[in-house]
Structure 1
């Protein structure tokens, strides 16, 4: 597949034009013209680039790419080493941030919702279609205790989680938004969720959870955002005829 065709495919699938994002979505560093082997991952770290070089990848697809707003624009130090590795090995880098969070079947939020078994889903952002909403609301098949729900989430993300349990009511209605979305907790309250799941926690988040009577789970930024890159690897392999593999560079954050 030509590089230009690959980006058209990604843009058609993920619809980046729908989002006002914090970094450019699409091709961020140009490499070879023909793409057959693709590595997907959460973040375009040096470790992921090195793994892609070993895999002899033609392209890397990530959720967290480069050139974020308000960052130092100079290509020096760590940024230079990363970009130099890509250019030296002729590897294309594609980054999709909010579009990969929001995609209703391939996205990070959809993957986490699938893993914990949410039904009757809608967008966390009221009045925004689910395919454009940064966050998901849904229901479990039946109410469960907080202890059972913790185990469900820990099984889904493959790690222990921070769980602020604020009451003894069963959990059924769940709001979630992967990554660093702890600031969305009040939106979760507004849609009547019993619990809000995200990746990170801030000091004030716990006070908000306690005072607004909503359970809160911080399940890890990296852990909650592996789903989209995993789904994209499977999609590119099964639907697009490319050799695609997800590589997980562990990150406890």
Structure 2
């Protein structure tokens, strides 16, 4: 076991949340047991994840998407009441790190997504340097964006939405996990041949067609499955704690 406060200090030292302008609070969002014995990591603090953590006999949860966001209704009713009631009844700590988890250069969502896809980051781009830009590990790139899309589908086991008109080889690849469609213009300016993220909105299809840069949307959840377990496992190992990643499937 380890002390909850020491665990929080370790997460904060690793992820440096003070560096980021974020959409909600990073760190300990719900206080539970003072002594931590097991961490369950996941993408989102959904009721299903909380119930799975209880079944796994964990008293600490570490996620990317926590419970609280700027601008949300502050009343504790409905789904919020249900999630909080479970956490409080079972004395479970909830740690959540949003943009700091995206950005960590080795263990974060973008770094781990690149690792999964065989991409090596060479530079950063976009607001708060969240976007990664690099190339395929090994000789050559991808013959076409269609080849890249198939590669992503094979690695993430889900369909990819592709917008591509250029029909050229892909050398420079930009990526930013989750709902980072607003980073597409910065990726184009950075010299990318293709941009990978979780979602696509209406404007990006036009930008892709007009600028000749391929756009690939592989799912918000699918692109952010890797950072939370990487960080939680790393910190759990430091303290000799048990850790388990529980993936609650999400088609988004």
User: 2:129 matched to which residue of 1?
Assistant: 133
Q: TM-score, normalised by structure 1?
A: 0.95
Q: Which runs of 5+ in 2 are unaligned?
A: none
User: 2:49 matched to which residue of 1?
Assistant: 48
Q: Which runs of 4+ in 1 moved over 4 A?
A: none
User: 1:9 matched to which residue of 2?
Assistant: 10
Aligned mates of 1:120, 1:81 — CA distance in 2: 41
Most deviating of 7-16 and 224-233: 224-233
User: 1:88 matched to which residue of 2?
Assistant: 89
Question: Is contact 1:86–1:92 with CA below 8 Å preserved after alignment?
Answer: yes
Question: Is contact 2:36–2:60 with CA below 8 Å preserved after alignment?
Answer: yes
Question: Is contact 1:236–1:243 with CA below 8 Å preserved after alignment?
Answer: no
Question: Is contact 2:133–2:175 with CA below 8 Å preserved after alignment?
Answer: yes
1:171 aligns to what SS in structure 2? coil
User: 2:188 matched to which residue of 1?
Assistant: 189
Q: Matches of residues 203-214 of structure 1 in structure 2 within 5 Å?
A: 203-214=202-213
Aligned mates of 1:66, 1:186 — CA distance in 2: 30
Corresponding residue pairs, total: 248
Q: Matches of residues 87-236 of structure 1 in structure 2 within 5 Å?
A: 87-125=88-126, 133-140=129-136, 141=138, 142-146=140-144, 147-236=146-235
Q: 1:89-118: CA deviations, max 9, x gaps?
A: 000001000000000011000011111222
1:100 aligns to what SS in structure 2? helix
Most deviating of 135-144 and 231-240: 231-240
Q: Which runs of 5+ in 1 are unaligned?
A: none
Question: What's the offset of the Cα at 1:149?
Answer: 1.2
RMSD: 1.3
